[in-house]
Amino acid sequence: MQIATAAWMSCCSLGNAGNAIKLGRSGPSRRRLMMLMWIILSGSLCLMVDGQMKIPPETVQQWAVSFGKEIAALSNRYSGAKLLQKKYKDVEGVVKIEEVNGEELVKKFAEEMEEMLGRKMKSVKRLAEAAEDADLGHEYNETLEFDYFNSLLINTVDEEGNPIPLGGEFLLEENEHFNKLPVNTQQSNIQVPTNVYNRDPDILNGVYMSEALNDVFIDNFQKDPTLTWQYFGSATGFFRLYPGIQWIPDENGVVTFDCRNRNWYIQAATSPKDVIIVVDVSGSMKGLRLTIAKHTINTILDTLGENDFVNIIAYSDYVRYVEPCFKGMLVQADLDNREHFKLLVDELQVKGEGKVKNAMKESFKVLNEAAALGQGSLCNQAIMLITDGAMEDFKDVFEEFNSPERRVRVFTYLIGREMTFAENVKWIACNNKGYYTHVSTLADVQENVMEYLHVLSRPMVINHDHDIIWTEAYMDSVLFNTQAQSLLLMTSVAMPVFSKKEETLSHGILLGVVGTDVALRELMKLAPRYKLGIHGYAFLITNNGYILSHPELRPLYKEGKKLKPKPNYNSVDLSEVEWEDTEEKLRTAMVKGETGTMSLDVRSSVDKGLRVIFLKNDYFYTVINETPFSLGIVLSRGYGEYIFTGNVSVDEGLHDLITPDLTLANEWTYCEIDIDPAHRKLTQLQAVIKYLTGKEKDLRCDAQLLQQTLFDAVVTAPMEAYWTALMLNTSGMDDGVETAFLGTRSGLQRFLRYAGTEKRVGKSFMTSTDKQNMFTLDHFPVWYRRAAEYPVGQFLYYMPRQDTRAGRIVISSTAVTVTVGKKTAIAGAVGVQMTLEVLESKFRAIAAQPNDTDCSSVEGVCPLRCDSFDIECYVIDNNGFVLISKQRSDAGRFFGETDGSVMSTLIQMGMFKRVSLFDYQAMCKTNPHSVSSARPLLSSFYALASTFKWFLSNVLLFLLEFNFCSFWHTEHFADAYVPKKKWNILQPCDTEYPSFIYEPSVKETNSIIKCGRCQKMFVVQQVPESNLLMLVVQGDCDCSRQYPPITLEPREVKYSFDLKCDRMRSQKIRRRPESCHSYHPQENANDCGGASFIRLSGPLLLLCLSYAALVS
């Protein structure tokens, strides 16, 4: 202390000479008082030499060693890790370790998936045959009266308590197989969109005919109890669904679901197609006509899928592409591109004179070039002309480009009530194997657009080609609206249904489409997690390279408190998830349907992207026959290469399985509980016990998984007694140690709660809601995966993410292995969950030297205490997250946000490494000011005019959309088109975000940071036998101005216009569907549509003209 005081005084003596004289005059007592204050201050402050503090590294090292021993002893004691490792060591003599053969594994998985999907296809074929036979025997009756169960009206009564028409009593019971939805498994029922009259003769005849499907639905379900929804979507608009359900309308009381808009219907009804949409934007298209035209374009876009190609051309005095980047080409009609087109269409403005001739020439040119270059769908080609009239001499264009084969079909949509040019527009369609429709109101759009699908289906119908199609992944709207998200992502298998009647053969009448859904989670259960290892996984892609199923696929995002599907959730490309495959070799091989293997070094993230681990992954892939899908599996090098097996008797294993501390991964399939309805309420553990005890011998169970589970149950059984003995010794328990747990590669988990529910801080830890820390279909627990990548026997400590933890808790875990010869496999992981206060109390007791410390041999501040006001002490983990700090709010935060200066220096010194990660499924906020160039603030006059305009336009739209059918039938109203408002909404984007990882070869370091007028010293020391670091930092030097915080916030990747354009134009490799039906010589091309005319009243016409004047 004397040395410290002398040094401090000598540094200050020159500057304080004047003060020293003044002190001398004030008398000896005051001088002694000031000297005493200097001594006290010098003892509480650290040593200053030219204003610089010196923190002794050896002191920090002693603290780190002591802290490491304390927490290691704590973790070992309460987890029982050494006991568990010994138990697995004892059985190494009877254990076999085998190397996983990825090629055989992927082949086996693919065969099982092919078999499962094959059963679905057989069910659909039976439905198609039954529907066609029923139609053949049905004679159309214009005056048919027939009551059916309308899914919207069932179980509802009128004011007098009587069932309403098409309603009636329809028994519904919750069913586990259908995600606990109330269903009727004995009967199907009918859903009809709001814009279709539910007593129309076509509807009644179709519903009556399709009653024959009820028995087939039930029979299919009995033959294959894993079937989910089965259905028949009629070309007239009704939807027969089995099992029957209560259909819930939207918040406006409207049923917008139209089966003919669904991808499964469109893909089954038509072959792939190239479509050029040509829209008239001349001056005559202003007002309501433009609104109808935009809605028509959007409706056409909704009928396209990822096997189709599209572009949109607008014309007036000149021809332009709505997306200049797509000039002269066709682009894939995936969800991304369709939504992009819709945004651009919404911005279309009218001006000039309409000259259709040049637009048609440009359209033929694009289609011809695509066919010549082998681009696009190489199947159907069509032009969709949307106009209010064609005045030019345009016939020579079709003679030049489309005669005599008429290979390109032209469909025309006459917009508005004016019929002057109807014959011209109709001629274009009828002379080019297309179809003409007159669209006079928004209510007409849906039905009229659907006509083109029937025309394109003619060649396939006439030839009776029953092609089976599989869709891309999509979200089941019924399940999503009920929040039943375990069956969220689906694929559908569908088949067209044709009329077999000879008299209508040349017309090629499509009756509809039958299909069934396959929950992708159920399909992925055929690639069991236990066979793929800790970091391994399986994934599926389509022939277009889009993800069907992948652990990293995130189809939902949170907007406020609501979960919503991302706009592009089903067009996420494999290259956007496996982004380390920069040359897209994996994607190319899988899209082509090849079988093979490759390896990649990958940066994988855990704990929701916060932490990075480096893996060497082996990829194995093959095609699933009779489908457009390819399967891939991933095995990680190291521990992921091996699987071990042990053998115990059923009696011995069963005894140790029936214990209160044991659970099994309920999302894994130990036994098939979805086949027999009596088994559907069983958990996997209950099913296993019933099977092993002989109570349910008919259960189909995974013998290999059960063998591993029984073996693990026996080996881990002593842990229950060990943990219980600790808990009963209340006097020796540390407060705050809450849960001991373990998990094995068989999905078996044991845990014991040392603390009661009322005392536990981590109440949600390892509960059913805590998916991150449980075995799921997609992943092993976080604590298991992280422990597997850390040295065996050493504990890894971390705080869970703030949004996944209840309170300030710490998790400590370590891996347990078995070794046979030179092969080592991970048997499991074991750990303890405790409150943060447990570690904080250990740290505080260590990180404070007492005042009587011998400082004679210490160079620097002595005694050193972390509770000093000018000292900051931290404990951080190997990813830079704070566990311990004076400021309680720092816990769980990234250290770079707390002290950017020290973190920057640690990165520069190589103690931490910055790793860039990418998210190609991110959602970013759009700038509302960049979306529209509209006036930002309205004056009071404009506000009044705007309000009047809104009221008038809505009244007008209601009158124009009012269908005459609804005049007689009040329950039927047309579905209106309401453009979406643009606000500060979230849109798909690409982001880059950092992760940081400690370089373990650097055990300790210290440095001085220069920050303007002061300098900051810090010392860093690794905590032995852990993933933690201890930091002691000078706290009286603020460096925040020179060193801003380092955050983990993602940064949106901005692309230049040219680069963005190139990315949009790029055509990735894809595999085309094998079948194409674009021509049949017997097709009746004379059936090309006719004009529908509705007389407009004088007052309504005046209202129209007023509206047109206002909006222009």
Do residues 815 and 792 touch, judged by C-beta distance below 8 A?
yes
Residue carrying the six token digits 């001006």: 351
Of the listed ranges 243-252, 783-792, 1097-1106, the one predicted with least confidence: 1097-1106
> Among 659, 747, 750, which Cα is nearest to 709's?
747
- pLDDT digits over 725-750, tens only? 999 987 888 999 999 999 999 999 99
* Residue 39 binned pLDDT confidence (cut-offs 50, 70, 90): very low
Element containing residue 737 per DSSP (H, E): strand 737-744
Give residue 408's pLDDT: 94
Give residue 32's pLDDT: 53
**DSSP tag of 740:** E
- pLDDT digits over 949-992, tens only? 444 444 444 444 444 333 333 333 333 334 444 456 788 899 99
The identity of residue 982, as a single letter, is K
Three-state secondary structure of 109-147: HHHHHHHHHHHHHHHHHHHHHHHHHHHHCCCCCCCCCCC
- pLDDT digits over 56-88, tens only? 999 999 999 999 999 999 999 999 999 999 999
The identity of residue 624, as a single letter, is I
Q: Which residues lie across from 994 on neighbouring strands?
A: 916
Give residue 52's pLDDT: 58
- pLDDT digits over 529-565, tens only? 999 999 999 999 999 999 999 999 999 888 888 888 8
Of the listed ranges 637-641, 809-813, 931-935, the one predicted with least confidence: 931-935
Give the C-alpha separation, 6 to 1, whole Å: 9
Residues whose CB falls within 8 Å of the CB of residue 1099, separated by 6 or more in sequence, listed in order: none
Give the C-alpha separation, 242 to 151, whole Å: 11
DSSP string, 346-384: HT----S---HHHHHHHHHHHHHHHHHTT-TTSSEEEEE
Of the listed ranges 648-652, 826-830, 922-926, the one predicted with least confidence: 922-926
Degrees (nearest 5) of the Cα angle 209, 215, 220?
Answer: 125
- pLDDT digits over 181-228, tens only? 899 999 999 999 988 899 999 999 999 999 999 999 999 999 999 999
Give residue 1086's pLDDT: 81
Do residues 401 and 408 touch, judged by C-beta distance below 8 A?
yes
Task: Give me the sign of the Cα torsion angle 592, 597, 601, 603.
Answer: positive
Tokens of 613: 């681990």
- pLDDT digits over 1007-1066, tens only? 999 998 899 999 999 999 999 999 999 988 999 999 999 999 999 999 888 888 888 888
- pLDDT digits over 294-303, tens only? 999 999 999 9
Could you give the 3-state DSSP secondary structure of residue 321?
Answer: strand
Residues whose CB falls within 8 Å of the CB of residue 695, separated by 6 or more in sequence, listed in order: none
- pLDDT digits over 478-519, tens only? 544 444 444 478 999 999 999 988 776 767 789 999 999 999
- pLDDT digits over 337-371, tens only? 999 999 999 999 999 888 899 999 999 999 999 99
> What count of other Cβ atoms lies within 10 Å of the Cβ of residue 24?
11
Give the C-alpha separation, 92 to 715, whole Å: 11
Residues whose CB falls within 8 Å of the CB of residue 734, separated by 6 or more in sequence, listed in order: 74, 78, 834, 838
The identity of residue 1017, as a single letter, is M
Alpha helices (H) along 532-668: 574-577, 585-591, 650-657
Do residues 185 and 127 touch, judged by C-beta distance below 8 A?
no
Q: Assess whether pLDDT exceeds 60 at residue 45.
A: no
Do residues 247 and 191 touch, judged by C-beta distance below 8 A?
yes
Give the C-alpha separation, 406 to 400, whole Å: 11
Burial 159-188 (b: 16+ CB within 10 A, else e): eeeeeeebbbebebeebebbbebbbbbeeb
Burial of 41 (0-12, 13-18, 19+ CB in 10 A): exposed
Burial 245-260 (b: 16+ CB within 10 A, else e): bbbeeeeeeebebbbb
* Residue 946 binned pLDDT confidence (cut-offs 50, 70, 90): very low
**Of all residues in the chain, what percent carry a pLDDT higher than 90?**
63
Could you give the 3-state DSSP secondary structure of residue 388?
Answer: coil
The identity of residue 291, as a single letter, is T
* Residue 277 binned pLDDT confidence (cut-offs 50, 70, 90): very high
- pLDDT digits over 449-485, tens only? 989 998 998 888 888 888 999 999 988 655 444 444 4
Give residue 927's pLDDT: 62
Task: Give me the sign of the Cα torsion angle 801, 806, 807, 811.
Answer: negative
**DSSP tag of 150:** B
Do residues 814 and 829 touch, judged by C-beta distance below 8 A?
yes
Give residue 261's pLDDT: 87
Of the listed ranges 271-275, 412-416, 977-981, the one predicted with least confidence: 977-981
Give residue 1052's pLDDT: 93
Give residue 984's pLDDT: 64
Residues whose CB falls within 8 Å of the CB of residue 444, separated by 6 or more in sequence, listed in order: 437, 438, 1092
Give residue 476's pLDDT: 67
Mean pLDDT, the chain, integer: 85
Give residue 802's pLDDT: 64
> Among 610, 1032, 958, which Cα is nearest to 786's?
610
The identity of residue 40, as a single letter, is I
The number of C-alpha atoms within 13 Å of 539 and in the hemisphere containing its C-beta is 25
Tally DSSP H helices, then E strands, for the chain. Answer: 32, 39
Do residues 1094 and 517 touch, judged by C-beta distance below 8 A?
no
Q: Assess whether pLDDT exceeds 80 at residue 599.
A: yes
Burial 837-875 (b: 16+ CB within 10 A, else e): bbbbebbeebbbbeeeeebeebebbbbbbbebeebbbbb
How far is residue 650 from each of residues 91, 680, 689, 747, 827, measured CA to CA in Å? 17, 24, 10, 18, 20
